[in-house]
Chain A
Amino acid sequence: MSSDFVQLAQKLADAIGVVEGAPMQLANMFAAGSLAEVPVGHSLCDFGGPSDKVFLLVDGTVEVFKPDTTGVPRPIAKIRGPAMIGHMGVIDGSLRSASCKVAGETAAMVISLGADEFRRLMARPDATGSAVRHLVLANLIRQLGNTNITVAALLDGMSDHAAATETGSQPVQDITEDDLHLLQAVLRGWSVPPRG
């Protein structure tokens, strides 16, 4: 087992805050994929495409694009490594809900893991399966928790105004489409709640 993979597993577990990171076991997930340098501007996945891979962003930046209500792709989040990307579609069998492109000044180092291999690892009853499941569970729980935080932040200070808007006593002022995209990015694990 490459010590680089163990270090990377530890970094990823720390970034997510997993209780039992088990880097030695988690490194087996990295070893099961294929590592590649992806140039700036290249796509990892496209909106509406099949969710056939999970990406482990080792180093670099990936920008997430989602079509707005008119169908025009809009950048909605930037993900910096180490991070896990594209797991949602593989878990629930849905199509890609966004496009991901390598961004920034330098190429990204990305490990691609086939969907079947990812699901096989996750279903293993041994310590490796446990480490993968704990990483995934921590990610999903963070996504939901961060969504609650984001909603609270968006609603904070709006309650009085929103109530007045409902009764028609003030001109309509509401959460914007940018906020909608932020919320969806947080829910899907591409972004974290804004500070402050």
Chain B
Amino acid sequence: MSIPDLTDALCALPCFRKVPRSAVAGLAATCPVRAFDTRDEVLSQGAGTDAAYLVIQGMLEVSVETRRTWHHIATIGPGELVGESALFIRGVQRNATVMAHKPSYCLELTPSALSTLAGNPALAALELSLVAALSRRIRKTNLEIQGAWKQTHPDDFKENIQSDEGPKTFAGRLKNMFTGRGGDQ
């Protein structure tokens, strides 16, 4: 992918729509693009590499192995980032494996690229978008935890809790939430 083509593709992502094209071009010129075929491994659980990937085109899937069983956790599409922990926290190990769900192009970001790009409005926009995404994920997780507690302890609440078909224990619901499983197994 040439720099102008890459810049066009990046400018189309929601997080860069209000950023000057010259700033996005600076990002495109600093960070390499990686191409992944379907089933290619992007990140490996337990590895200590320091790169994160912004999906430009295609789709990635995130899975976690616990007790020799793989659990699908999430699907990552254009404009979303995977492996961001390594950009901002020292000494992290990958806690999930990421594979290409279909042929994908990703922008590779590293801590040294972030240092080089400090002051670039495109990078600032990407980081602010990540702050918003993480904050939404924390809020959603908190609401799901509260909801799981209400479902399993309806007598503790004055309001009428409409029960669903989920597991009867809070532990069972947590397991579903955090391993993506469809029910207690």
A: residues with CB less than 8 A from B are: 16-20, 69-70, 88, 91-92, 94, 97, 122-127, 129-130, 133-134, 136-138, 140-145, 147-148, 151-152, 154-155, 158-159, 162-163, 165-166, 172, 174-175, 177, 180, 183-184, 187-188
Shortest C-beta distance, A15 to chain B (Å), equals 12
Q: Bin the interface of chain B by size.
A: 35 or more
CB pair A162–B169 under 8 Å, yes or no, is: yes
Q: Which residue of B has the minimal Cβ distance to A123?
A: B128
Apart from the given pairs A127-B119, A175-B170, 13 other A-B contacts in the complex at a CB distance below 8 Å: A19-B86, A20-B115, A92-B136, A123-B124, A134-B127, A137-B130, A141-B84, A163-B172, A175-B171, A180-B145, A184-B146, A187-B142, A187-B145
Is B71 interfacial (CB 8 A cutoff)? no
CB pair A137–B84 under 8 Å, yes or no, is: yes
With A and B bound together, what is the CA distance between A125 and B126 in angstroms?
11
Shortest C-beta distance, A165 to chain B (Å), equals 5
With A and B bound together, what is the CA distance between A174 and B130 in angstroms?
35
Which one, B119, B128, B139, contacts A94 given CB within 8 A? B139
CB pair A144–B141 under 8 Å, yes or no, is: yes
Shortest C-beta distance, B60 to chain A (Å), equals 18
CB pair A166–B167 under 8 Å, yes or no, is: yes
Chain A residues within 8 Å of B174, by CB: 151, 154-155, 175
